[in-house]
Structure 1
Amino acid sequence: MEKKLKDLREEYLKIPIPKELNDVVQAALNEKPRKKPRVGRNILVSAAAALLIVTASVNISPAAAKAMSDIPIVEKVIKVITFVEWKEEANNSSAVIKTPAISGLENKQLEDSLNDKYLSESKQLYKEFTDSMSKLKEGEKGNISVESGYVILTDNETILSVQRFTDTISASSSTESQFDTVDKKNEVLLTLNSLFKDDRYLQVISENIKEQMKRQMAEDPEKIYWVEDDDLTAFKGIDENQSFYINEDGKLVIAFNSYEAAPGYMGAVEFIIPTQVLSDLLVGDQYIH
């Protein structure tokens, strides 16, 4: 894992640095992952300065070693760490991009594939941000804020669920997330299909979500979901690729990005599916109970 992270870090740093940047600092990251992403945060930006900080928190300083020692460990010592971070401010715009890395899996193929994916996502996001800045005319302000990071949603003896999120604020705001749930004992990546005996779960979960949407709207007039039959964008149901994770209580959570199931002001929305609704469909109770 150490060699892999070193190779990835070297690859990561090959991205061309804008000419106006005059300082690159590598330091240990002492900040722990945030508990929950928030949309609409205030971000201080500078129109006159650009700053790029690359932080690799793997075996590069005593401070990094201290940070590693503070990370909670489990039986197999499977960890999620901040591998590298980009920060940039320019033209009244800002980007903060944190890349996670998973270490400690004996299944190195799974570990490497996840870390490669996380790195690729971050590099693409950074490229999109710098490309948008380069297209601005002289004196024009971008007025864009991008924050990307990760949240450890579940970390127990059985399950590791990690969310990667990107909050974008410009003329409007949006949140996009991806989720990975790993069986730590068997070291396999769980899919929605793998949790159920057959595809009947698709309709059962979809109907439960519709019921929750309607109930929430009846209880709170401020909430709106696209669930009415006469709505052209109405939520029809989930498919096997639907975003999900398993929470600390062993419950299945179905997640939607901004604008997928509700107007933008609702942000990203989630629905906890009652286990009793799923009990006859599950392959077992080792994950969901």
Structure 2
Amino acid sequence: MEKKLKDLREEYLQTPIPKELSDVVQAALNEKPRKKPRVARTIWITAAAAMLIVTASVNMSPAVAKAMSDIPIVEKVIEVITFVEWNEEENNSSAVIKTPAITGLENKQLENSLNDKYLAESKQLYKEFTDSMSTLKEGENGNISVESGYKILTDNDIILSVQRYTDKIQASSSTESQFDTVDKKNEVLLTLNSLFKDDRYLQVINENIMEQMKQQMAEDPNKIYWVEDDEFVEFKGIDATQNFYINKDGKLVIAFNSYEAAPGYMGAVEFTIPTKVISDLLVGDQYIH
């Protein structure tokens, strides 16, 4: 943020001031007031300069108006910060929980609802950890590791995609994530449904994911996905609540937590959907292209 403001300042300083406006300001500064106290003199000069600038701007030529319009203004800055962080170590166990917060949205209802949700998730995670510690017998080690944080996956002029992840180790390991994608221009939260004309996208995306799964398994015998005809492990496909985000290249990415689409050792898995596969079903190409 500081760098952006510095860049804007440098750009502003390098922008030439129209000669007509410069002459008006200089004339105001050079004019001597008659018997004005020092403080009043400063106020008078400032006011006179401001009035003359306004007057000049009304009568300036199109060229001057164009030059004035080129002077950059500081736009709102939407960013993600660490709101609070918990660090706990006890009985050979540890928890590191970082809670994000989105700032800079004019839509405070959206901003507050997201931040309240993030804080509630972190509090619940911390409570689960401390509850687990409280059930240990004296001298017993928990051997529990919890790490929770966030990543900014995409941040451009149009969208902000944020991932909140939690890695847990207790006998076995698991990774869970949740994603939020915000339209920064309209300040609304994007859903999977909102990107498409109708629900035909579900079948199209499911078919593409299964194709990718089979291709990956054919190329790498160490990869296993649940695409076999077994009701207990068969990949059931996605629905409208599926985890997703839009990456920096403007591609739709479907994300699965541990055990949702593959055995635990595969961890969390993701599939980038080729835009050509879903282009006819998209509402538009503003987000995905």
CA distance in structure 2 between the aligned counterparts of 1:98 and 1:184, rounded to whole angstroms: 23
CA displacement at 1:232 relative to structure 2 = 2.2
1:232 maps to 232
2:199 maps to 199
2:212 maps to 212
CA distance in structure 1 between the aligned counterparts of 2:4 and 2:135, rounded to whole angstroms: 41
Instruction: Give the partner amino acid of 1:82.
Output: T
Contact 1:87/1:96 (8 A) holds in 2:
yes
Question: SS at 2:109's partner residue?
Answer: helix
CA distance in structure 2 between the aligned counterparts of 1:70 and 1:244, rounded to whole angstroms: 30
RMSD: 1.6
Q: Which has the higher contact order (CA 8 A, sep 6+)?
A: 1
CA distance in structure 2 between the aligned counterparts of 1:119 and 1:210, rounded to whole angstroms: 35
Matches within 5 A, 1:60-99: 69=2, 75-99=75-99
Specify the structure having the higher radius of gyration (Cα).
Answer: 2
Question: SS at 1:265's partner residue?
Answer: helix
CA distance in structure 2 between the aligned counterparts of 1:77 and 1:134, rounded to whole angstroms: 43
CA shift digits 1:39-94 (9 cap, x unpaired): xxxxxxxxxxxxxxxxxxxxxxxxxxxxx747999942001000110000000000
Contact 1:145/1:169 (8 A) holds in 2:
yes
CA distance in structure 2 between the aligned counterparts of 1:287 and 1:157, rounded to whole angstroms: 11
Matches within 5 A, 1:1-289: 69=2, 75-230=75-230, 232-289=232-289
CA distance in structure 2 between the aligned counterparts of 1:251 and 1:199, rounded to whole angstroms: 19
4+ long deviations beyond 6 Å:
70-74
CA distance in structure 1 between the aligned counterparts of 2:205 and 2:75, rounded to whole angstroms: 33
CA shift digits 1:226-275 (9 cap, x unpaired): 01123522112110000000000000000000000000000000000000
CA displacement at 1:148 relative to structure 2 = 0.2
Report percent identity of matched pairs: 85
Contact 1:71/1:79 (8 A) holds in 2:
no
TM-score by length of 2: 0.75
Contact 1:96/1:147 (8 A) holds in 2:
yes
Question: SS at 1:235's partner residue?
Answer: coil
